[in-house]
Amino acid sequence: MTRLGDLERAVMDVLWDSVPGRSDGVTVREVADALAGRELAYTTVMTVLDRLAGKGMVQREREGRAWRYRAAASREAHIAQLMLDALDLGGSRDAALVRFARSVTGTEAEVLRAALAAEASGGTAGPGALTGRIEAPTSRRADRATSADEAVDG
């Protein structure tokens, strides 16, 4: 990954991890302070935020003489969007991706779309909700293997 891409990711992480109470956004100075370990110039951070705004990843509002930035969508919403693409549910008719197998079920599609809809209406799921859902399939691993074999036998 390029250095710039790396920086964009670091800046987005700051925006996503900023205290929820501060939903009105953070300033360039605050982002630079959060990334103090990287010793970035103020202008560098501003450039990165500008680029991210250009890509539609962050939104900004003017407050006095400074801009306040916040993430346009949560990390979870972006992942849901990528998964919709990955499972060919994104509604695109273009051959943008080549998939291993399409095994998606109606319920999964609904869950993914609901994640995006919830995002659009303002309510964001906490990070805990996501990790909790990831844990689940691991513990069901054994059942799944047997059910797979049954399906082929039958």
Partner 1 sequence: MAYALHFTLTILACWGTAQVLARSTWPWHSPRVAIVCWQAVGLALGLSAMGLPIALGVSAYDLPPGSGLVALFDDLLHNRLPAGVTVLDLAGVGIGFGIGAVLLTTTVRSTHGALRAQRRHRDLLALVARDDPAVPGALVLDHPSAAAYCLPGVKPRVVVSAGTLSLLDPAELDAVLTHERAHAQERHDLVLLPFTALGRALPWLRWVRQAHERVALLVEMRADDKARELHAEAPLAGALRRFATAGHRITPAGALGLGDRDLDVRVQRLLVADEPRRLIVVTALAVASTLVTLPISLFLS
The residue ranges that bind partner 1 (CB under 8 A) are 1, 5, 8-9, 12, 55, 57, 75, 78-83, 85-88, 90, 92-108, 112, 130-131, 133-134, 136-138, 140-141, 143-145, 147-149, 151-152
* Min dist. Cβ of residue 65 to partner 1 (A): 29
Which three-class secondary structure state does DSSP give residue 25?
Answer: coil
C-alpha 18/C-alpha 127 separation (Å) is: 13
- Output 19 or 152, the one with its CB closest to partner 1: 152
- Output 22 or 99, the one with its CB closest to partner 1: 99
What the block records as the tokens of 91 is 């509604």
- Output 40 or 115, the one with its CB closest to partner 1: 115
Does residue 45 contact residue 84 with C-beta atoms inside 8 Å? no
C-alpha 150/C-alpha 154 separation (Å) is: 6
